[in-house]
Amino acid sequence: MTHPHDVPPPTASQSHLAGLELLDSGHIQDAVHWLRHAVELDPGNAAAWNDLGVILEALGNPRDAIYCYRRALRARPGMDEPRRNLLALALQAAAAPPTPPPARSRAAVAIAR
């Protein structure tokens, strides 16, 4: 008879798969959790890093997505997906109109006068 504490924890590939299944079923935050777990268990899992980056980018977090894509490329330098994802983000950034400086910068200039 097995006890719940006898069940081994999920592997990195099982966590990655769980994250993708949760993503497919619309449980985005749970998917992020399991993909983060996958890369914690196996930092060399380029596919999990890329998938995590895709989700983070879709959630409006390009900075963390770039980090994930770079980690994917570090793990597997020849992998096309993270390279394409980084290029797409760079093209989006280049096409975006410039953002005005933060209000605090203008305030600091006004105070300095």
Q: Select from 60, 7, 72, 6 the least CA-distant residue to 35.
A: 72
Which pLDDT score is estimated for 94?
A: 85
Q: Is the pTM of this model over 0.85?
A: no
| pLDDT one-digit tens code per residue, 32-63 | 999 999 999 999 999 999 999 999 999 999 99
Task: Report angle CA 88, 92, 93 to the nearest 5 degrees.
Answer: 120
What mean pLDDT is predicted for residues 92-96? 84
Q: How many CB atoms lie within 10 A of CB 70?
A: 14
Homologous superfamily of domain range 4-112: Tetratricopeptide repeat domain (1.25.40.10)
Residue 31's pLDDT is what? 95
Question: Looking at the predicted structure, is the pLDDT value of residue 108 above 50?
Answer: no
Which sequence spans correspond to the domains of the chain? 4-112
